[in-house]
Amino acid sequence: MNDLWQAIAARIGEATGKPWRMREQRAVGGGSINEAWRIGDGEREWFVKLNSADRVEMFAAEAEGLQALAAADAIRVPAPLDWGSHGGRSFLILEYLPLRSSPDPKAFATALAAMHRHTASSYGWHRDNTIGSTPQINRQSDDWIDFWRERRLLFQLDLARRNGASSRLIDRGRELADRLPAFFATWTPLASVLHGDLWSGNWGADDSAAPVIFDPAVYFGDHETDLAMMTLFGHPGRGFFERYDEVLPIDDGFSTRRTLYNLYHILNHFNLFGGGYGSQAEGMIDQLLAELG
């Protein structure tokens, strides 16, 4: 491990143009996929993620995702400094941001809506990344329904089949995939830049109380997908959705599509953790099909 930290210190020095010597380090809890560390030289601190060497592309994609979010110039994200591998380990070095627990809901809504106004000409992204530790396929498409069916819903259903999901879940899920156009009869979303994994553990506020988002799974798609996940594991706070709707109007069909978009994450949780997420996903599919009659 000492060789690894020496290599990381050298990379910090190269990236900042000033020799850097680590004087303090402490493990940071909260993550289930990577090790996380806070390191410093007495003057400046950095946040470092560690994993096995074969995860270096995961870190490269995360760094590029943070850069894509920063390019919208709407909401603060930790700036990536460098990433790579050494001695069987991969690492990602990020700006360290002291965080409060939650941002002001209305300020958060204003900033996120402004970020979602940053759009591309197609759905997806120039590279794949991960959602948790699951591959996330971002091959670009001009058709949002096709993108969501093939790269999101069917991809997770295929993983779920291999992970032992019930035949009913798979069959009903494929029926839902065939009927997706019905949820978009009056809604054609812009390809907004998305955080992609925006649950309550991936947002906070900096020392000036400004909202911060981190740990992204970036791609371009329907901004409703970010809004949906914000209520799946947590909630952004009272007044958030009212303010967001003032800045970027929320379509009436979101109340139904919220379940559709969150199904992706529940299926992913089944594929990562198993347990009751399978029955939860099946219930969501039944609810969505019942909406169609």
* Euclidean distance between the first and the last CA atom of the chain, given in angstroms as a whole number: 58
Residues linked to residue 205 through DSSP beta bridges, in sequence order: 100, 211
Q: Specify the pLDDT at position 29.
A: 77
CA distances from 99 to 62, 77, 78, 273 (A): 19, 11, 11, 28
Q: Range of 265's domain?
A: 105-292
Of 77, 95, 113, which marks where a domain is finished? 95
Would you name the residues annotated as active-site residues? 197
Q: Specify the pLDDT at position 177.
A: 98
User: Which two three-digit tokens encode residue 236?
Assistant: 């952004």
pLDDT digits (tens, 9 = 90+) for 250-263: 999 999 999 999 99
pLDDT digits (tens, 9 = 90+) for 144-201: 999 999 999 999 999 999 999 999 999 999 999 999 999 999 999 999 999 999 999 9
Q: Specify the pLDDT at position 6.
A: 94
Q: How many domains does the chain have?
A: 2
Instruction: Tell whether 234 is covered by a domain.
Output: yes
Q: Specify the pLDDT at position 182.
A: 97
Q: Which of 288, 121, 119, 100 is nearest to 206 (CA)?
A: 100
Instruction: Tell whether 100 is covered by a domain.
Output: no
The angle that helices 254-273 and 277-292 make with each other, rounded to 10 degrees, is 150
Q: Give the H/E segment covering residue 130.
A: strand 129-131
Do 35 and 112 belong to one domain? no
Q: Specify the pLDDT at position 1.
A: 58
Do 85 and 129 belong to one domain? no
CATH number at residue 161: 3.90.1200.10
Q: Specify the pLDDT at position 148.
A: 98
Helix spans in 163-223 (H): 167-178
Q: Specify the pLDDT at position 31.
A: 66
Q: Is 129 helix (H, G, I), strand (E, B) or coil?
A: strand
Q: Specify the pLDDT at position 164.
A: 97
Check: CB of residue 46 under 8 Å from CB of residue 12.
yes
Do 261 and 121 belong to one domain? yes
> How many whole angstroms separate alpha carbon 7 and alpha carbon 184?
50
Do 86 and 112 belong to one domain? no
Do 138 and 70 belong to one domain? no
Low-confidence residues of the chain, pLDDT below 50?
Answer: none
Q: Specify the pLDDT at position 49.
A: 97
